[in-house]
Amino acid sequence: MPLMVKTPRNQRTIAKWGTYPQRINLLARQETAIQRQISRGGLASYEPATQAALFALMQEAPVGAAFFDVGAHIGLYSALINSIFNNKGVQVFAFEPTPATAAIGRRLKRYNKLSFEVVEQALAERPGTATLYVSNIAETSNSLNPSHRRHAGEVTVEVTTLDAFTARRRVDPTVIKIDVETNEPQVLAGAFETIARARPAIVCEILDRRGAEAMAPHLDRLAGLGYRSYPLIDELPWQHLDPREMDRLPDGHKSRDWMFLPGKMSRRLARTAADWLEAVAHCDESTNLLVSPGTEPPSGWNAGHPFPSQRGRLKVWQGKRNHD
């Protein structure tokens, strides 16, 4: 049963760049863990702060900006960014080494008539081949790290580095999202030539304190390049904090994803993120549209329309502020 998911509506984006599709066709709702989760709770149930950060970064990015989705899974973020910011001429690359999942990403692209590129490769510290360990729980846990999760199978995949890819394709990322199930340090290790040259914003998964310690040399190297890190929690404002100090987060808050910016976060970016977090919150399960197999979607299912701003509903982190 096809799952049509409402896209977040941002009036400022629509006013400047024109409208964009009202929905994304996420295909079968039970095919992968992400599709199952969104079918139960709408887009708002899936990493809303990460969505808000990525959309805000791409909104503030220049025309023709490139988004690298490393560990793209079925390409949810690639599809959303390609759809929302298509009028800005964005370039979107979805890196996904799992053959079956990459195939779904290509179907997602085709069914929604999008232009993002599925790159069926893993990114790591050096090019070559590697063993991808296929989780026996959910394909979202597939990893090059054999000890990350129990695995039911193995597949040999092609590996490149982000530096090698940017040199070969002559494209530098403006925004990079990295979610590769504990292999994030290896991705960054193969990316620093590009990072130093292009100074992209980076949104990276760091699961816990142990993961932060594994990333320590790269965190120090990013800091040496002037980068500042922000935990992406569901309350605003996001505060500058080193991931190795994640125990300082307010009670009840954890952050799996962290945003690294080549400098201090601007007030403009913070306001834009607030707008997007508000917009994502409106995409709950009641906005999903399920279509029975063999029937046509309703007329206009993919038409864009304006969405009025409803600011003021966000909760704000009232904890100790870090103004530096």
Q: With a cut of 50, which residues of the chain have pLDDT below it?
A: 304-324
Residue 306 confidence (pLDDT): 36
Q: Which residue has the tokens 């950060």?
A: 53
Token readout for 188 is 């960054």
- Cα gap 302→137, rounded to integer Å: 33
Q: What is the CA radius of gyration of the chain?
A: 19
| 311 closest CA partner among 48, 38, 88, 10 | 10
pLDDT for res 145: 58
pLDDT tens-digit series, residues 100-129:
899 999 999 999 999 999 999 999 999 999
- Using alpha carbons only, give the angle 83, 85, 90 rounded to the nearest 5 degrees: 105
Summarised one tens digit per residue, pLDDT across range 57-80 is 999 999 999 999 999 999 999 999
Quote the mean pLDDT of the chain.
Answer: 87
Under 8 Å CB-to-CB from 241, ≥6 apart: which residues? 229, 230, 231, 248, 249, 322
d(CA 309, CA 133): 44
- Do 86 and 19 contact (CB within 8 A), yes or no? no
157 token code pair: 């995949």
Per-domain boundaries in the chain: 63-273
Q: Token pair for residue 193?
A: 């030539």
CA distance 251 to 266: 26
Q: What is the pLDDT of residue 2?
A: 84
Q: What is the DSSP letter of 296?
A: P
Tell me the fold of 63-273: Rossmann fold (3.40.50)
Angle between helix 76-84 and helix 48-60 axes, rounded to 10 deg: 40
CA atoms within 13 A on the CB side of 29: 19
